[in-house]
Amino acid sequence: MKIITSIFELNKEIKDYKNVGFVPTMGGIHAGHKSLIKASQNKKSKTIVSIFVNPTQFNKRDDFKKYPRNIRKDIAILKKMNVEYLFKPSAREIYKFKAKKFNLKKKDKILCAKFRTGHFEGVLNVMNRLMTIVKSKDLYMGEKDYQQLYLIKKFLSKKFKARINSCPTVRVNKNIALSTRNKLLKTNSLKKAAEIALFLKKIKYKSKLHGPKLASNLSDYKKKLENKYNIKIDYLEFRDEKNLKLNNFKSNYRLFVAYNIDNVRLIDNF
């Protein structure tokens, strides 16, 4: 595996991106990331993974500082998976050129955008830069971060004529979604998070049977979960898969959640 840290090196190394799939990450490689890499390897002859913990998407300095990093372990995993390229730039390298800034309109300030001011502006900024640098036409991204996927498709896929290939969420024992942030959780909180995921999965299932009635009970479920697990839920909402509008149970939808446990913010959708 070639480990590349500069744009210059990258351009020298990869001249033709036609058969290169791109998997952007913030590291702490887990089975969720691995599924994206495998999806790329199934379709493309080469894969480039980036690891960059992007400072501009963290709306809290402390969250950025404590974000789990383990580059040695990541490199070992990627090598074992026969990934051809790892792009591991510094913040200086990524932000050394001028690029468009993104502002979300009111209608996009929903779900996480409502609770994490500036977060998606930071995500779009860095993805715009990464897609300018890594000229792959096939990106592999997870449904775990559904709103991110939605916004990148909306704002960037046309500009770069790139396909954003979405991959299903990988879970532990069919409940808690794998996430680098899980490493920050105490064992007891991990257990709670797994129970919460199972509960929400059931609600989603029930909603298929009694849609509108269940939607009107959602705030009760929210309170119940908050009290039982001593967590703070930012949102628990059914939204349309296609446009993230509040759902009317007529088209495909998902149940979106974000909550804080042990001072760690977890997001998921079912």
Report the candidate in 148, 150, 152, 204 with the shortest Cα–Cα distance to residue 179: 148
2 three-class SS: strand
> Which one, 33 or 119, has the nearer CB to ligand AMP?
33
Residue type, 111: L
Smallest distance from ligand AMP to CB 28, Å: 6
CA–CA distance, 266 with 177 (Å, rounded to integer)? 9
Which string of DSSP letters, residue by residue, matches 200-228?
A: HHHHHHHHHHHHHHHHHTHHHHHHHHHHH
Task: Indicate the pairing of strand 85-87 with strand 46-51.
Answer: parallel
Smallest distance from ligand AMP to CB 143, Å: 7
- Residues numbered 56 to 115 that lie near ligand AMP (CB under 6 A) are none
> Which one, 149 or 215, has the nearer CB to ligand AMP?
149
CA–CA distance, 143 with 267 (Å, rounded to integer)? 11
190 three-class SS: helix
Smallest distance from ligand AMP to CB 23, Å: 7
Q: Token digits for 169?
A: 């969420």
* Contact call for residue 177 and ligand AMP (CB under 6 A): yes
> Which one, 27 or 110, has the nearer CB to ligand AMP?
27
* Contact call for residue 36 and ligand AMP (CB under 6 A): yes
> Which one, 131 or 215, has the nearer CB to ligand AMP?
131
* Contact call for residue 170 and ligand AMP (CB under 6 A): yes
CA distances from 160 to 104, 127, 139, 141, 188 (A): 19, 11, 11, 16, 44
Of the chain, the end-to-end C-alpha distance in Å amounts to 35
Smallest distance from ligand AMP to CB 259, Å: 16
Per-residue binder mask for ligand AMP (CB under 6 A), 120-159, x = binder: ---------------------xx-xx--------------
Q: Please compute Rg for the chain using Cα positions.
A: 19
* Contact call for residue 35 and ligand AMP (CB under 6 A): yes
* Contact call for residue 180 and ligand AMP (CB under 6 A): yes
Residues with active-site annotation = 33
H helices of 25-118, where? 31-43, 61-66, 71-80, 91-94, 111-115
> Which one, 135 or 183, has the nearer CB to ligand AMP?
183
CA distances from 167 to 4, 13, 157, 185 (A): 26, 28, 16, 25
The residue from 7, 22, 33, 67 that contacts ligand AMP (CB under 6 A) is: 33
* Contact call for residue 54 and ligand AMP (CB under 6 A): no
The residue from 6, 59, 70, 169 that contacts ligand AMP (CB under 6 A) is: 169
Contact set with ligand AMP (CB under 6 A):
25-26, 32-33, 35-36, 141-142, 144-145, 167, 169-170, 177-180
